[in-house]
């Protein structure tokens, strides 16, 4: 995605991150020098565009998404863009068909995630005006080694999970699902 983005836009992805998101959102900890392309797979010419963001700056991105791309009264993202990129495109059963085993482990009850456009989207029927639980309308960014930004519109909440990637403190998607479930239980009790 990073390679395609830079080719289409004609700008460095990290410059865009700094100028178009970090500055308008008032990110307190953003450090442009910590943003690095990493070549992790020698068989690919496309590097990983790793992003080093603090927990509170990740939360700002989640809140920006929850508020439809608005920040302090300004439309930072194009109107409707946050809804478009968090609309389910690929269902969970298309990513990991029943009986396929293993995979990302996305078919468990607490982690039924399909895919939108760069966001994992809660894969359950959505009927406008009818809330069927705290995951209704939820979407999440799954980052390196167990970093997550999860937006829960039904609960009007953003949950951020950060790890020390330098220490390789990996947290699996399944473990994060347990953490998210505990948060929801403490936040809204019986709403699960």
Residue 189 pLDDT > 70: no
Average pLDDT over residues 115-136: 77
Q: Please indicate, yes or no, if residue 8 is contained in any of the structural domains.
A: no
Task: Give the pLDDT confidence score for residue 103 in this predicted structure.
Answer: 46
Report whether pLDDT(110) > 50.
Answer: no
User: Residue 168: its pLDDT value, please?
Assistant: 66
Domain that holds residue 126: 77-191
Q: Is residue 66 part of a domain?
A: no
Residue at 136 is within a domain: yes
Contact 47, 2 (CB under 8 A): yes
Task: Match 């953490």 to its residue by tokens.
Answer: 179
23 inside domain: no
Terminal-residue alpha carbon distance, the chain: 35
Does residue 21 form part of some domain? no
Count of the separate structural domains present in the chain: 1
φ, ψ for residue 120 (rounded to 5)? -80, 135
Which one-letter DSSP state was computed for residue 89? -
The pLDDT of residue 192 is 44
- The least confident of 37-46, 55-64, 123-132 is 123-132
């Amino acid at each position: 995605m990073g390679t395609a983005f830079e080719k289409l836009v004609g700008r460095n992805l990290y410059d865009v991150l700094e100028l178009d998101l970090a500055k308008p959102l008032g990110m307190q900890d953003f450090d442009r020098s910590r943003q690095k392309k990493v070549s992790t797979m020698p068989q690919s010419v496309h590097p990983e565009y790793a992003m080093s963001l603090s927990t509170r700056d990740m939360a700002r991105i989640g809140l920006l998404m929850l508020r439809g791309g608005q920040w302090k009264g300004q439309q930072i993202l194009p109107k409707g863009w946050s809804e478009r990129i968090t609309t389910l495109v690929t269902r969970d059963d298309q990513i990991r068909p029943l009986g396929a085993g293993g995979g990302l482990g996305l078919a468990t009850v607490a982690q039924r995630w399909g895919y939108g456009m760069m966001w994992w989207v809660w894969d359950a029927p959505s009927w406008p005006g009818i809330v069927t639980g705290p995951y209704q309308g939820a979407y999440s960014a799954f980052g390196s080694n167990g970093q997550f930004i999860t937006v829960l519109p039904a609960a009007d909440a953003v949950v951020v999970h950060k790890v020390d990637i330098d220490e390789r403190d990996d947290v699996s998607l399944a473990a994060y699902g347990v953490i998210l479930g505990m948060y929801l239980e403490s936040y809204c009790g019986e709403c699960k």
